[in-house]
């Protein structure tokens, strides 16, 4: 009930369009009900004493019929187009609202979601509103008005014959119910099979490199064939049931006609029914049974639309876990000091990842996070940008708790180079410029030079206009990483996060990038994660993490003088 109320509220904006559409649907149905009456009236005219007025009356009926059919064009257009216009506009609005909502959720929300499922929420689930508003509701109105209208008309013409023609109704209702509950679900099985085929194809095309590298072409081809086969089998089964069902309903519907011919003929023989009434009965029966057999289908479609609408509303009603505090202020004129005050974090309840993290750094300092893989280094940097909130403690920038500032102002002061560089399917220039929409080409080039990627770009055929391909697949790992660094430099943010920014480059390039980073040092606060300790030798503060805790703190030289993890890691790397 609550959902129904919400659905109504969503559509209220388009009420004018929708009211006209519904009115037109109503008018259209009434015209459909009137036309047989006119045809039977014409028969009646010819049946009775034909005189000179008969021709005039036939002329009048012809004109009325002509006008009605013209009006039908108008009403059909209005009912069809306006209902769709209202519905598709609503769908568009919902699509962007659902997208914006999903886009604003924290990383925690995305961690257990599948891309395909989220896409389906934005594209398919929202489309159920179209099904509901442009098809189900108008069809319901048409059907109810038609059935009620035909029942009244038939009863007024001849109650006895009318009651006889109602005999097939329970059978038609029952078969409609069978169709909705037994046959249509089979079509849904085939839809699921095609969705699985799609998912398999998506996976395989993304992993085509691995398929070829491990010579799995025939195996994968077989898997695709299997999935395609499941679809064909389920589809053909559904079509077979459907092919049995439809003629059966057609037969039930024609029982009415048989009754009219048999019993109607009998009544006419005894002078209890006129030929024009028989004509009226036959014509009205053509309108009568289809809405009845479609009732169960409509109810079933309604349930489907309801489920889709529920999934849309669920997204719209899910509160954001990471959002601006009610009185959040803008974080401006950032100097770049960072403080972690007793910070603890867990992705899943009671599974602590990091705890008791305490440290501070001054503006312009370089701070490095070191430790075994999976210890929580990336997690700590994600907390600075509020991709997650600490489960305990707080993080301060320039002495201000980051929870008290707006998310946008916080993130606009931080430029990340993430571990897995994601590039959009555009040009190199566009990908670097993504960090700062106000930047011109000169600034983009300057950033690329600072990230030591400019010469590489100029060697490419289209320079900065070179397309990077989906996820940047036309570029090498090192190139992607340096584009990500250029992007971060262009952001001109006072805080830079480098999550293994030089992991995919050769030693020479690494040295070059180190120079670029050194150029930035002093003017920006840099938080760097590195496995290769040589890259963080110059850091002002190195935090060594083990088992989710900071076990050592100091500069490179200080840490080398202590017995501990850092010294061991350094020794291990030097011995390589
Ligand atoms: N979204 C997530 N949900 C649940 N657990 C996660 C999530 N992301 C990371 N983890 C877990 O948190 C721990 C810390 O991960 P994190 O990526 O911070 O480590 P790291 O020190 O940066 O590792 P590496 O050096 O390999 O990059 C790991 O055990 C990881 O499995």
Ligand 1 atom 6: the closest Cα is on which residue? 347
CATH number 3.40.50.300 given to 338-574:
yes
* Span 202-222, pLDDT tens digits: 889 988 988 998 889 999 999
pLDDT digits (tens, 9 = 90+) for 329-383: 999 999 999 999 999 999 988 899 999 999 999 999 999 999 998 999 999 999 9
Q: How far is the CA of 239 from the centre of ligand 1 (A)?
A: 49
Q: State percent of the chain over pLDDT 70.
A: 99
- How many beta carbons lie within 10 A of that of residue 82, not counting itself? 22
Domain with CATH 3.40.50.300 in the chain: 338-574
pLDDT of residue 540: 93
For ligand 1, mutation pick of 109, 353, 498 (most atoms within 8 Å of CB): 353
Find the 530 Cα to ligand 1 centroid distance in Å: 15
Q: What is the pLDDT of residues 134-165, one digit of tens each?
A: 999 999 999 999 999 999 999 999 999 999 99
pLDDT at 575: 67
Options 1.20.58.760, 2.70.70.10, 1.20.1560.10, 3.40.630.90; CATH of 2-317? 1.20.1560.10
* Helices marked H in 2-112: 2-11, 15-47, 52-77, 83-103, 107-111
Give residue 102 CA to ligand 1 midpoint distance, Å.
Answer: 23
Average pLDDT over residues 299-303: 83
What does the alpha-carbon distance between residue 147 and residue 570 come to, in Å, rounded to a whole number?
A: 85
Mutate to test the pocket of ligand 1, among 379, 502, 530 (most ligand atoms within 8 A of CB): 379
pLDDT 10s digits, 164-183: 999 999 998 888 888 888 88
Question: Per-residue pLDDT tens for 476-522?
Answer: 888 888 899 999 999 889 999 998 877 767 777 777 777 777 777 77
Q: What is the largest CA-CA distance in the chain?
A: 124
In the chain, where does the domain assigned CATH 1.20.1560.10 lie?
A: 2-317
Q: Does 550 have pLDDT greater than 90?
A: yes
Query: Does 378 contact ligand 1 (Cβ within 6 A)?
Result: yes
Give the integer Cα–Cα distance in Å for 463 and 458. 5
CA 345/CA 391 separation, integer angstroms = 5
Between 101-115, 305-319, 333-347, 513-527, the lowest mean confidence (pLDDT) is in 513-527
Summary mean pLDDT of the chain: 89
pLDDT of residue 502: 73
Cβ-contact 61, 41 below 8 angstroms: yes
Residue nearest to atom 23 of ligand 1 (CA): 374
CB distance 111 to ligand 1 below 6 Å: yes
Q: Helix, strand, or coil here: 505? A: coil
Nearest atom (ligand 1) to Cα of 111:
1
Query: If pLDDT is split at 50, 70 and 90, which confidence band does 576 have?
Result: low
Per-residue HEC secondary structure of 262-309 comes to HHHHHHHHCCCCCHHHHHHHHHHHHHHHHHHHCHHHHHHHHHHHHHHH
The burial of 106, by beta-carbon neighbours within 10 Å (0-12 exposed, 13-18 middle, 19 or more buried), is given as middle
Give 373 Cα–ligand 1 centroid separation in angstroms. Answer: 8
């Amino acid at each position: 009930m609550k959902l129904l109320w919400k659905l109504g509220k969503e559509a209220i904006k388009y009420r004018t369009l929708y009211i006209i559409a519904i009115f037109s649907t109503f008018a259209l149905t009434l015209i459909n009900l009137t036309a047989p009456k006119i045809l039977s009236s014409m028969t009646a005219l010819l049946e009775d004493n034909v005189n000179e007025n008969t021709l005039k009356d036939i002329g009048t009926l012809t004109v009325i019929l002509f006008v009605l059919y013209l009006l039908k064009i108008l009403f059909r257009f209005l009912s069809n187009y306006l209902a769709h216009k209202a519905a598709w506009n609503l769908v568009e609005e919902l699509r962007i609202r659902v997208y914006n909502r999903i886009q604003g959720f924290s990383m925690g929300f995305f961690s257990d979601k599948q891309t395909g499922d989220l896409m389906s929420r934005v594209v398919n689930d929202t489309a159920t509103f179209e099904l509901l508003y442009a098809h189900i509701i108008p069809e319901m109105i048409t059907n109810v008005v038609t059935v009620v209208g035909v029942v009244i008309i038939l009863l007024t013409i001849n109650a006895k014959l009318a009651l006889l023609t109602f005999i097939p109704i329970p059978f038609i209702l029952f078969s409609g119910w069978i169709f909705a509950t037994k046959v249509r679900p089979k079509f849904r099985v085939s839809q699921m099979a095609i969705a699985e085929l799609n998912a398999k194809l998506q996976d395989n095309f993304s992993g085509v490199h691995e398929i070829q590298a491990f010579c799995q072409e025939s195996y994968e081809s077989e898997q695709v064939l299997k999935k395609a086969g499941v679809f064909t089998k389920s589809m053909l089964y559904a079509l077979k049931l459907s092919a049995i069902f439809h003629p059966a309903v057609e037969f039930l519907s024609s029982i009415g006609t048989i009754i009219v011919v048999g019993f109607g003929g009998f009544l006419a023989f005894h002078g209890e029914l006129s030929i024009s009434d028989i004509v009226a009965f036959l014509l009205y029966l053509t309108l009568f049974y289809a809405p009845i057999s479609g009732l169960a289908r409509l109810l079933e479609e309604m349930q489907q639309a309801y489920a889709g609408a529920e999934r849309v509303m669920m997204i719209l009603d899910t509160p954001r876990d990471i959002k601006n505090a009610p009185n959040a202020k803008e974080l401006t004129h950032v100097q770049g000091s960072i403080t972690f005050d007793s910070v603890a974090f867990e992705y899943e309840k009671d599974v602590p990842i990091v705890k008791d993290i305490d440290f501070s750094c001054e503006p312009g300092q370089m701070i490095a996070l070191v430790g075994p893989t999976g210890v929580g280094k990336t997690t700590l940097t994600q907390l600075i940008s509020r991709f997650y909130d600490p489960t305990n403690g707080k993080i301060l920038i320039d002495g201000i708790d980051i929870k008290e500032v707006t998310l946008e102002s916080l993130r606009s002061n931080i430029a990340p180079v993430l571990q897995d560089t994601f590039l959009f399917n555009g040009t190199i220039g566009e990908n670097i410029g993504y960090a700062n929409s106000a930047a011109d080409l000169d600034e983009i080039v300057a950033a690329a030079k600072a990230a030591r990627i400019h010469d590489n770009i100029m060697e490419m055929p289209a320079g900065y206009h070179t397309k990077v391909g989906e996820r940047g697949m036309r570029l090498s790992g090192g190139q992607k990483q340096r584009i990500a660094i250029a992007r971060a430099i262009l952001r001109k943010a006072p805080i830079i996060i480098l999550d293994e920014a030089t992991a995919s480059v050769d030693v020479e390039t690494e040295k070059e990038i180190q120079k670029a980073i050194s150029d930035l040092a002093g003017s920006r606060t840099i938080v760097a994660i590195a496995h290769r300790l040589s890259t963080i030798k110059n850091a002002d503060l190195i935090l060594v993490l083990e088992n989710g805790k900071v076990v050592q703190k100091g500069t490179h030289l200080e840490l080398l003088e202590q017995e501990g993890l850092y010294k061991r890691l350094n020794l291990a790397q030097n011995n390589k």
